[in-house]
Each structure stands twice: as C-alpha cells, then as structure tokens.
Amino acid sequence: MWTLARFVIVLAAVAAAACAAEAPRFDAAVKAAARLPRLHSLLVSRHGELILERYFHGTGAASHQNVKSASKSLISALVGVAIDKGLIAGVRAPIAQYFPELNGPKADAVKRKITIEDLLTMRSGLESTSRWNYGAWVGSPDWVKFALTRRVVASPGEQMDYSTGNTHLLSAILTKATHKDTWAFAQEVLAKPLGITLAQWPRDPQGIYFGGNDMLLTPRQMLAFGETYLHHGKALGKQVVPAAWVDTSFIPRTQSRFSGRYYGYGWWMDELAGQQTYYAWGFGGQYIFIVPALDLVVVTTSSVALGDDRHEHRSAVHELVERDVIGAIAEQRADVPVRAD
C-alpha cells in the first residue's frame, strides 16, 4: 500500500537519479588539476553549496594561502564599507586630504587631483611600483612616501597602469580614516560578519598593513568572500558589503594594455565559456571566480614561488576553470544541480 511518505521518498529517489544521470561529473577538472604541480586547491560552490573541494601537494582546508594580488579585491571591499559608514567621503574624494605632503607649496598640482577612485581603478597617473620598481619599493624605508613621490606619467583618471602602490595608499587611507589598522578594520567589518578570522599579514616599515598583496586566507575563506559578492554583499543573513558597492565594483572602468582584460574597483572581468565572469586575481594562480548567471563561485590557490613555469601554470588554471568547471556547468539546464565526482 502506497503511503504519502513512501510516495515522497520514491519521488525524491527518482528525481535524484535523474539529476545524477544528467549532471556532469568533475572528473575532467580533478584530473587536469592533479596534473598541475603548482596547484594547491580547487573549490567549486553552486547555489551556496560546496560541490567540489580538492587539495593537492600536501595542502588542506586549514592551509593559509598567500593570495597575492587577490588582496586588492578585499581592500576594495573595505573601502566600500568605509564609504558606507561615512568614514571616507566617497570615490571622488581627493587623496590629498590624507597626505599633507601633497598640499605643500612645492607639491605637484597634478597629484592633488588623484582621487580614491583613481587608486581603486589603477588610474592614479603615478609611475607604477610594480614590475621593475617592485623590489626598490618594498625595500624602501617608507612605502607610502615612495609611492607618492613617483613621477606623474599620465593625468589621473585616464589610463590604467597596474600598481600595488595604489592599493597600499588605500590601506594607508583606511588606517587614517577608520583610526584602526587595516587588519583590525577588516576583522571587524568583514571577517567577523563572515564568521571567519583573518590572519595578520605583512606590514610596511611604518606599520601599515600591506594594501593589495600578501593577505593570508584559507581557500574556504576565499570562497566565503566570493559568495558574499555573488549575493550582492550579503552573508549569513546580513548585509556585509553594500549592495551598491558590489554592483559598482563590477562595472568595467578601464582596460589593461597588457592583457586586454577589463578592470573595475579591484576586480577583473571577462567572458569565460560564454558567461560573464568577475574575478580576484593573484600572482601565481590565486583566483576567486564569480559567475552570477550560474550562481557559481570557483576558488583556486597555487604556489607563489618564482619559476619559469608560472605563466604556463596560470594559463592552465584559467583554461581548467573555463573549460572543465564553468563550461561544464553552462552546458547543463539551469535547473539541474551539478554533483561532485
């Protein structure tokens, strides 16, 4: 005799079997990942459910990863929260109000025009502290002074010139505007609401936390941050990052002259497997991919060691995520969940 309970159980089993038959496995992704000697982790979350979590080469869920320049996306989030709290006037605010040395009689008038938005979008007009200048910058006795005294190579707000000095200046501004160091502010307004604890990361000689590099997160913490942006700034039922800030961060503001990729407020954007994708990107293969149309977040971490194979590895990770994760999911009906292998 068929009872309602038995009918429900059978129906659920049939539905699960149908989904399992139609949903792609991540075998290809896992196999491709296992072949990459520099890869540390691959995590996939869809509809808020962690459906794939793999670690490689001795790493695990508790391993903190130097996320390198993916840190810039977190610094951007902190700026958005500070603006929402009225601690920073807005993206059009000139940075000269935080750095008196820009207001002196011998100061460059062009530098006084640099705004918060110019730093967020890598359009400060200052010579980059990255690439060939990076070693001299981080070896200098005053990172903020070094960044501010770079020569002007373009008018502020015009062309993109990627420079970690820009986001370090944002960390210095956050420190002054919030009257807390960047780690303490991040702990209060970002980590705690996400239910995580941020490890302390390196500071400059003046004690300012490195802005835009060397933050330490576990892959699951990276995933939690990505999920927050996927859900328009919400996490655990609370508005952590203003929804309007998330939206405006994902607007393409400029374009890299090297890669051709578009850049917003600390986030890169591209079309992967036909899907609009936003991502935090760190040296060596540290990624947080967000694909809103698929309700999807993908995280990868990798070795940050220098090596001739690092560029090849980065391309391989990008291809793996596009082909074997985003592409595999995009091929399925939107209402069919994807299962892990």
Local confidence pLDDT in tens for the 341 residues of the chain: 455 445 444 444 434 443 343 345 799 999 999 999 999 999 999 999 999 999 999 999 999 999 999 999 999 999 999 999 999 999 999 999 999 999 988 889 999 999 999 999 999 999 999 989 999 999 999 999 999 999 999 999 999 999 999 999 999 999 999 999 999 999 999 999 999 999 999 999 999 999 999 999 999 999 999 999 999 999 999 999 999 999 999 999 999 988 889 999 999 999 999 999 999 999 999 999 999 999 999 999 999 998 888 889 999 999 999 999 999 999 875 444 555 44
Q: According to the CATH classification, is domain 25-67+219-341 in 3.40.710.10?
A: yes
What are the Cα distances from residue 189, in Å, to 62, 111, 116, 192, 193? 22, 30, 20, 7, 7
Q: Residue 164 in contact with residue 134, Cβ under 8 Å?
A: yes
Is 70-214 in the same CATH topology as 25-67+219-341?
Answer: yes
* 37-71: burial string, b at 16+ Cβ within 10 Å, e else: ebbbbbbbbbeeeebbbbbbeebeeeebbbbbbbb
pLDDT of residue 3: 56
d(CA 34, CA 31): 5
Q: What is the CATH number of domain 70-214?
A: 3.40.710.10
Q: Residue 124 in contact with residue 108, Cβ under 8 Å?
A: no
Distance of CA 73 to the CA centre of its chain: 4
Please give the model's pTM, rounded to 2 decimal places. 0.90
Q: Which long-range contacts (CB under 8 A, 24 or more apart) does 151-155 make?
A: 151/126, 151/127, 152/108, 152/110, 152/111, 152/125, 152/126, 152/127, 153/125, 153/126, 153/127, 154/123, 154/125, 155/110, 155/113, 155/125
Phi, psi of 98 (to 5 degrees): -100, -15
Q: Residue 98 in contact with residue 90, Cβ under 8 Å?
A: no
Q: Residue 159 in contact with residue 123, Cβ under 8 Å?
A: yes
pLDDT of residue 307: 82
Enumerate the domain spans of the chain.
25-67+219-341, 70-214
Q: Residue 297 in contact with residue 221, Cβ under 8 Å?
A: no
pLDDT of residue 107: 85
pLDDT of residue 224: 98
- Fill in the amino acid letter for 201: W
Q: Residue 272 in contact with residue 290, Cβ under 8 Å?
A: no
